[in-house]
Amino acid sequence: MSVHIKTEEEIEKMRIAGRLAGEVLHVIRPHVKAGITTGELDEICHDYIINTQKAIPAPLNYHGFPKSICTSVNHQVCHGIPGNKKLKNGDILNIDITVIKDEYHGDTSKMFMVGEPNIKSARVTKVAHECMIKGIEMVRPGVHLGDIGYAIQKHAESNHCSIVREYCGHGIGRGFHEDPQVLHYGKPGTGIQLEKGMTFTIEPMVNAGKRHVKLLSDNWTVVTKDHSPSAQWEHTILVTDNGYEVLTRVPGDEL
């Protein structure tokens, strides 16, 4: 495993890319309502990234992915392809944004609720957010990745939810996916130790039911096997001298 420690110049570029990714989620928020299609949301984000931010939507054509954002609805876990599906009241939706600016990536996602979701969907959305925060708040030099994974897993399972194990967080920088892999489960004291200058995502995928997932025939969209709702939140994190900086957090926005 070759983990790239970022220079100050690289970190500054990642701050810019991270801020841009976070801004896209702010821009799209008012459009997430019943009746709009996920394809229309993709078009709005694509236009904003290309024409306003003068940046590049990283997912577009990445290993053949056909759209500029990922939209995962209800029991879709991740990598949902935007299309003609109209959102309806009660849906929960993850929008995953990655932008490239000056060759560096910013990667973030949030959950959105359309109207009033059912209790199970609302609950898994809340638990997933808490899992991400618990993981982020542990970040500092010397902490093991297994410590972070354990804290996330423990919180999910203590709330009768489960952690998807097939997909994880990742190092990020000039590359979309770099070392290390950031698992959202694990044992304390295992895995590499964090160092100042590391940048990676924390993005737990939390299911209301069992953890098992399957890949649909489009070879991208991942869903829960038991059709239980799934939720995910994501930020890009920098390890600092004695803690962390959330690179994709927009000023004034809560974690």
pLDDT tens across 27-84, in order?
Answer: 999 999 999 999 999 999 999 999 999 999 999 999 999 999 999 999 999 999 999 9
Q: Is 139 helix (H, G, I), strand (E, B) or coil?
A: coil
Distinct helix (H) and strand (E) counts, the chain: 4, 15
With cut-offs at 50, 70 and 90, classify the pLDDT of residue 254: confident
Handedness of CA 254, 23, 140, 126 (dihedral sign): positive
Tokens of 174: 């000039």
- Asked whether residue 59 is domain-assigned, the answer is yes
What pLDDT does residue 123 have? 98
- CATH of residue 17: 3.90.230.10
For the stretch 108-124, pLDDT in tens is 999 999 999 999 999 99
Residue 251 maps to a domain: no
Q: Helix 38-47 and helix 8-28: axis angle, to 10°?
A: 130
**Within-domain flag for 149:** yes
Asked if the structure places residue 2 within a domain, the reply is no
- Asked whether the predicted pLDDT for residue 140 surpasses 90, the reply is yes
Rounded Cα distance between 84 and 86, Å, is 6
Is residue 252 in some structural domain?
A: no
pLDDT of residue 215: 98
Query: Which neighbouring-strand residues pair with 99?
Result: 57, 106
pLDDT, residue 63, reads: 98
Q: Is residue 123 part of a domain?
A: yes
Domain that holds residue 164: 8-246
**8-state DSSP, 30:** G
pLDDT band with cut points at 50, 70 and 90 for residue 252: confident
CA gap 50, 12 in Å, rounded:
21
Structure token digits, residue 40: 């229309």
Number of domains in the chain: 1
